[in-house]
Amino acid sequence: MSYAAFKMVHCPTGVDNCAAAYLTHSAGEADSDAIPLQISGPELIASSGYWASTPREATGGSGLPPNLVITKANVIEVFYVRLLEGDESTANGSNGAGNPETTPRGGIMAGLSYVKLELACHYRLHGNVESLGVLSRRRDEGRRGRDAIILTFRDAKITVLEFDDSSHGLRIGSLHYFEGPEWQYLKRGRERFVRGPSVRADPSGRCAGVLVYSCQLVLLKAAQ
């Protein structure tokens, strides 16, 4: 029997993947520690990769912004985004020029003194994360209106994670792999690949597609 070993020599310092997802809360939920995020027009939610055409589609009308999810090598971290109000012109007794916490902002950031990140959970995994995808909530089905995240690992491993309120951390929703003798034909005689698997999720949360072995497409249907 063989075993896999993974040893981290130095802690990762650069971010490989990032995305915005409603993991710890659903869109529209409010929190006394932060002010609601109001969107008055179409805004591009760039981190999650979809276009929100109405305020309710972006944040449920009003409420907390989505969580920030980042991966660094074999580390995954989930952050709360805290929006803090303030008067930029009078903060710290100065005009705010040159200070990143008091510089005036426009758009959906207008009226905010600064935004801070609060760590929700942190995990060290048994392999480097190749790509990160967000499986958006489905309005008429489960997950309490929350998103799920999809991680891919070499050579063709896929993990779906959700937030568990009871443990206040991530839990595994499902595991998938396309390796071993039964999937050997997918490699087409090759043993090494330049890139790892890449995942893309349907903005409506119906399915996700994963490109494995550089030329094979795997479609995963979302289930409640």
Q: Is the pTM of this model over 0.85?
A: no
DSSP 172-204: EEEEEE--SGGGGGGGTT----SS--EEEE-TT
Kindly report the average pLDDT of the chain as a whole number.
75
pLDDT for 180 equals: 86
pLDDT for 13 equals: 86
Provide the token pair at 85. 């109000």
pLDDT for 43 equals: 36
Would you say 113 and 88 are in contact if contact means Cβ atoms under 8 Å apart?
yes
pLDDT in tens, 2-58: 666 667 778 888 999 999 999 998 887 765 444 444 433 333 333 333 333 333 333
Evaluate if residue 137 carries a pLDDT over 70. Answer: yes
pLDDT for 94 equals: 47
pLDDT for 75 equals: 94
Question: Helix/strand/coil (H, E, C) string of 42-82?
Answer: CEEECCCCEEECCHHHHHCCCCCCCEEEEEECCEEEEEEEE
pLDDT for 12 equals: 87
Q: Where are the domains of the chain?
A: 17-221
pLDDT in tens, 48-103: 333 333 333 334 445 778 899 999 999 999 999 887 765 444 444 444 444 555 55
Evaluate if residue 108 carries a pLDDT over 60. Answer: no
pLDDT in tens, 169-197: 999 999 999 988 888 888 888 888 888 89
pLDDT in tens, 192-218: 888 889 999 998 888 999 999 988 999
Residue 218 CA to residue 224 CA, distance in Å, equals 19
